[in-house]
Amino acid sequence: MTNKIVVHTTCGSEADARRIARHLVELRLAACVAITPGVLSTYHWKGAIEEDQECALTIKTRRDLFAALAAELRKVHPYEVPELVALPIVDGSPAYLDWMDAELQPPVELP
């Protein structure tokens, strides 16, 4: 098990996705954000079933940065309740994992 995670969110436009991605990378809360446009989402919202085209964002970061990343994402995300799901990176290419560390903020001590 590594200390790396992938955080998933979606948003309603490519412009919002690009803005969020750039913001998180500039703050070094994300080493990389991959944007996948054209995702069709079906969900319950305020008593109705909705279906929308969205962009999926795959955010690569470390576990110790999750709280700061989540707080920042909530500030800049246009949704009332943005998706915010973190999944562990169990293993990976050592070179890629080292690159992630080099691109992220220094480690934060977890409580």
Is residue 108 assigned to a domain?
Answer: no
**What confidence score (pLDDT) does residue 92 get?**
96
pLDDT of the chain along its 111 residues, tens only? 999 999 999 999 999 999 999 999 999 999 999 999 999 999 999 999 999 999 999 999 999 999 999 999 999 999 999 999 999 999 999 999 999 999 999 876 655
Is residue 105 assigned to a domain?
Answer: no
* Percent of all residues in the chain with a pLDDT value above 90, rounded to a whole number: 93
Is residue 107 assigned to a domain?
Answer: no
In which domain, by residue range, is 44 found? 4-94
Is residue 15 assigned to a domain?
Answer: yes
Is residue 22 assigned to a domain?
Answer: yes
* Percent of all residues in the chain with a pLDDT value above 70, rounded to a whole number: 96
pTM across the whole model: 0.93
CATH number at residue 24: 3.30.70.120
Is residue 38 assigned to a domain?
Answer: yes
9-32: per-residue pLDDT in tens? Answer: 999 999 999 999 999 999 999 999
- 15-28: b or e for each residue (b if 16 or more CB lie within 10 Å)? ebbeebbebbbeee
Closest CA to 84 of 104, 70, 63, 103: 70
**What confidence score (pLDDT) does residue 111 get?**
53
Number of structural domains in the chain: 1
CB within 8 A of 79, min separation 6: which ones? 11, 12
Is residue 67 assigned to a domain?
Answer: yes
